Amino acid sequence: MVAGYARPLPAAHAGRATMTAERILLQMMARVARSLRAAIGATIIGASVLAGTARADQGAAQPGSGTTPAGAPAQTLEEVVVTAEKRESTVQKTPISVTAIEGTALQAQGVTDMLTLAQQVPGISFKTSGPGQTEFEMRGMTSTGGESPTVGFYLDDAVLTPAAMAQNGKTVIDPSLFDLSRVEVLRGPQGTLYGAGSMGGTIKLVTNQPNPRAFAANVEGIGSGTSGGGFNHTENVMLNVPLMQDVVALRLVGTDKRIDGWTDRVVLNPFPIEVNNSTARGNVAAAPAGAQIPRSNWEDLRGGRASLLAQPNDRFSATLGYMHQEITQNSPNTIDGPPLNQAHYQPFDVAEPFSDTFNLYTLTLKYNFDSFQLVSASADWDRQQNQTQDISEAMQFYIGGFFGPPANWPFSSTATVTEAGNTWFGLGAGTIAEDDYTRQYSEELRLTSTGSGPLQWLAGGYWAGYGATSHVYSFYPATNNGFNADFGTTNLADNHRKVDIDQYAAFGEVSYQLPKSLKATVGARYYTYHSNSVTSVSGVSANGTSAPLYGLASNSGVTPKLNLAYIPDENTTLYGTVSKGFRPGGPNSPIPSPPCPATAPTQFGPDSVWNYELGEKLRFLGGRVSIAGDVFYIDWSSVQQQVAPGCGFKFTANAGKARAYGAELEIGLVLAPGLVLSQNASYTHATNTTSVPLAGVVAGQRLLDVPQATANTNLTYRRPLAGTMSFVARLNNSYFGSIEDITFTRNTLPSYDLAGMRLGVEDKSWSASLFVDNLTDKKALLSDTGALSANIPIFNRIATNQPRTVGVDAAYKF
């Protein structure tokens, strides 16, 4: 046959050729499944038999059956029911990359916050400076440089993902994880069902719903002490009350948490300035302390949820929900590097508090028709954040860089001030503060088929109205003659910004059960958004007061999805997915020209990713072994970047491309009755593929805040005691690979391991355990923390973890 030429098949052979191709495809997929199971089984079966797994065959419960007696040693791995595809299914039968952890497991393992959860799930990375100040990322889709998150965040059906352009838009709330049904982590773009901001993945917290059939209560108390810190305590309570038997119920959940803190804020007197060098610190670790505020990063969290369920019949239900939470922190979880002591050093006694207040109102209506379910999910939430930072050293650096040595500074009081003095060359203490308020109302209406036929479908619509205001301001004390006398104001900068965004979407998925255990799913989402912003700037840095600056943006598009799954039995799932995700764009506030070139775009568009993925989920040895893995390749286009044209201002632009590829693996293994090993790992290679000089991006550079490797190991041993009591021991270790981060310059933060252990006794209605978190007292450098004003090369502020913490956890269920 001549290359490039193919003779058409006769019509009589066309059907036979199609059948042959289908048969070959099915045989190949079946052979892959058998090969995977055989290869992995051969590797571990010897160890499993030696460990006694063969003895577990007798009387072993089937996966997910729930027939294992309470407190009995585990003989099979339990399956978790999820709603990742907005319909109920098990993790095993859901042909996407998803991790699900039940709420009871979270409580038993002592996972109480989102950061600890992220360190136990493959494929998640983050950038943080403390509670309520964390950006989550998956599969290398870093949010650094953009204006909105790359990972969606949900509480039940409520969309908590902030829209673009919010000042605090990339950080999510840090809710208490008490009384959850489960947490679902969906890796890879979820643009079809979950929409904007889910181009790296989605985190979904699913709460326990009110039960109108029985009264229930759960109380938990946690007390601990931290190395270098004080006493920490947490009190959790849940109360479920049927108000009308089998019809109406109220569920109340409350949390009161106090972390005493473990970093110090040290005010040096005099503050060591290098002689004749106004832009460098001296040896702060050896300087005398004028004041020291120990354990300055203490944290208080108080909040609760209330859910009222009315279910008058089997077809209709209505759930009204409310959540309120307040986080107060005296200073961030950051230390100075150098010297990397457990402290932040300052020339003046400037507190740096942070507060985060969140309210959520929800109404979920469900009606079951004969062949489909109608769901209406309404949510209205608001969030208020306030924070303050000390910028005294930043001002010294930039003024020194502009005017030269202090003797040349044109301020009225510099002539008589020495370099070692804490009057800071006449400027005094400088602060910057930020107040952010955001609110979003959203409505999702969807129809989901409920039949058992080969055709399954889902269709819906979504609307969200989002508003955000931000006020960033920097002032010097009015009594400071060195600043006020020369500039006639104490206002260094005062920036007000207001953003409004409307989003609309229509989405749907159709799946069909093909012959020979094949299932095909096709989905798409059409979206459109309109946003506008207004910005006003005043103060010395703006040469007075500028006229309001207005920005407008809009865009629309389609995010498709194609999934092909091979599910020959309840223990085998093979799948392939091609999907697209996106992050919305927004308006740019105009930058002044001159001094800037008149090239800043009036808006930046959405960036998007194409994801190509192959995965498998296998269970064997009677449900005692489960292995789920996937490989992926992602193309990222029109990446949102912060561009600096060299005039002191920045704007956001779609500049450059990136890619990521890697693999994720989760293994569960019952080594012996009562001895369970859970192991997961991920590898991500994420790099820029084009250079963007004005954004400081070089082709081949790693994407920021993305570790190449992560791993987590959990080993649980359960042994029966008298009656229904059991002794339980848990060991865990989380590994997080090195990351590249940037403040003033690009740098690398090293890899780290965090280990923990728990020993306790559990009964049907109560549990008590002794725990040690951060067993080896490792000081992990989690991420660089950018300044609210401007970063400087003198030092980095680096977020760090809590030192070794020893405590007791006791719970009782009524």
1-11 pLDDT, tens digit per residue, is 333 333 333 43
- Determine which of 122-131, 359-368, 582-591, 652-661 has the lowest per-residue pLDDT on average: 582-591
In this prediction the pTM is 0.87
- Model confidence band, residue 529 (pLDDT cutoffs 50, 70, 90): very high
The per-residue b/e assignment along 798-808, b for 16 or more CB within 10 angstroms, e otherwise, is bbbbbbbbebe
Q: How far apart are CA 293 and CA 65, in angstroms?
A: 55
Q: Is residue 251 part of a domain?
A: yes
- For residue 778, give the CATH number of its domain: 2.40.170.20
Mean pLDDT along residues 21-40: 45
Q: Is residue 34 part of a domain?
A: no
Mean pLDDT along residues 674-696: 91
Q: Is residue 806 part of a domain?
A: yes
Q: Is residue 12 part of a domain?
A: no
Predicted confidence at residue 164, as pLDDT, reads 63
Residue 739 has pLDDT above 90, yes or no: yes
Predicted confidence at residue 35, as pLDDT, reads 45
Within 10 A of 370 (CB to CB), how many other CB atoms are there? 7
Which three-class secondary structure state does DSSP give residue 177?
Answer: coil
Joined tokens for residue 720: 């029966």
Predicted confidence at residue 44, as pLDDT, reads 41
Q: Is residue 197 part of a domain?
A: yes
Residue 14 has pLDDT above 90, yes or no: no
Predicted confidence at residue 478, as pLDDT, reads 56
- Model confidence band, residue 415 (pLDDT cutoffs 50, 70, 90): very low
- Average of per-residue pLDDT values in the chain: 84
Q: How far apart are CA 527 and CA 580, in angstroms?
A: 13
Q: How far apart are CA 612 and CA 263, in angstroms?
A: 44
Residues 6+ apart with CB under 8 A from 527: 195, 196, 503, 504, 505, 556, 557, 558, 559, 582
Q: Give CA 484 to chain center in angstroms.
A: 43
Whether 810 and 767 have beta carbons less than 8 Å apart is answered as: yes
Q: How far apart are CA 529 and CA 11, in angstroms?
A: 49
Q: How far apart are CA 784 and CA 779, in angstroms?
A: 14
For CA atoms 772, 776, 779, 781, give the dihedral sign. Answer: negative
If one counts the domains in the chain, the total is 1
Q: How far apart are CA 784 and CA 798, in angstroms?
A: 5
Q: Is residue 26 part of a domain?
A: no
More confident: 98 or 46:
98
Mean pLDDT along residues 434-463: 94
Residue 416 has pLDDT above 70, yes or no: no
Residues above pLDDT 90, as percent of the chain: 56
Predicted confidence at residue 64, as pLDDT, reads 35
Residue 771 has pLDDT above 50, yes or no: yes
Residue 742 has pLDDT above 90, yes or no: no
Predicted confidence at residue 657, as pLDDT, reads 93
Q: How far apart are CA 528 and CA 583, in angstroms?
A: 12
- Model confidence band, residue 426 (pLDDT cutoffs 50, 70, 90): low
Predicted confidence at residue 758, as pLDDT, reads 98
- Model confidence band, residue 19 (pLDDT cutoffs 50, 70, 90): very low
More confident: 588 or 61:
588
Tens digit of pLDDT for each residue in 713-738? 999 999 999 999 999 999 999 999 99
Q: Is residue 153 part of a domain?
A: yes
Within 10 A of 536 (CB to CB), how many other CB atoms are there? 16
Within 13 Å and on the Cβ side, how many CA atoms surround 312? 4
Predicted confidence at residue 67, as pLDDT, reads 35
Q: How far apart are CA 448 and CA 673, in angstroms?
A: 40
Q: How far apart are CA 192 and CA 559, in angstroms?
A: 6
Mean pLDDT along residues 55-79: 49
Predicted confidence at residue 556, as pLDDT, reads 92
- Determine which of 22-31, 336-345, 556-565 has the lowest per-residue pLDDT on average: 22-31
More confident: 252 or 703:
252
- Model confidence band, residue 146 (pLDDT cutoffs 50, 70, 90): low
Predicted confidence at residue 438, as pLDDT, reads 92
Joined tokens for residue 284: 């702060």
Domain that holds residue 562: 52-71+78-813
Distances (CA, A) of 804 to 225, 468, 653, 709, 747: 8, 39, 43, 24, 27
Residue 46 has pLDDT above 60, yes or no: no
Predicted confidence at residue 135, as pLDDT, reads 87
* Listed ranges 10-14, 116-120, 429-433, 521-525; the one with the highest mean pLDDT: 521-525
Predicted confidence at residue 543, as pLDDT, reads 66
- Model confidence band, residue 282 (pLDDT cutoffs 50, 70, 90): confident
- Determine which of 166-175, 477-486, 517-526, 620-629 has the lowest per-residue pLDDT on average: 477-486
Q: How far apart are CA 251 and CA 237, in angstroms?
A: 11
Joined tokens for residue 84: 């990742």
- Model confidence band, residue 63 (pLDDT cutoffs 50, 70, 90): very low
For CA atoms 789, 791, 794, 799, give the dihedral sign. Answer: positive
Tens digit of pLDDT for each residue in 190-220? 989 998 889 999 999 999 999 999 999 999 9
Predicted confidence at residue 535, as pLDDT, reads 86
Q: Is residue 118 part of a domain?
A: yes
Mean pLDDT along residues 756-769: 96
Going by the DSSP 8-state scheme, the letter that residue 281 receives in this structure is: B
* Residues β-bridged to residue 317: 366
Residue 293 has pLDDT above 80, yes or no: yes
Predicted confidence at residue 794, as pLDDT, reads 78
Predicted confidence at residue 117, as pLDDT, reads 92
- Determine which of 50-54, 366-370, 612-616 has the lowest per-residue pLDDT on average: 50-54
Predicted confidence at residue 427, as pLDDT, reads 65
More confident: 411 or 177:
177
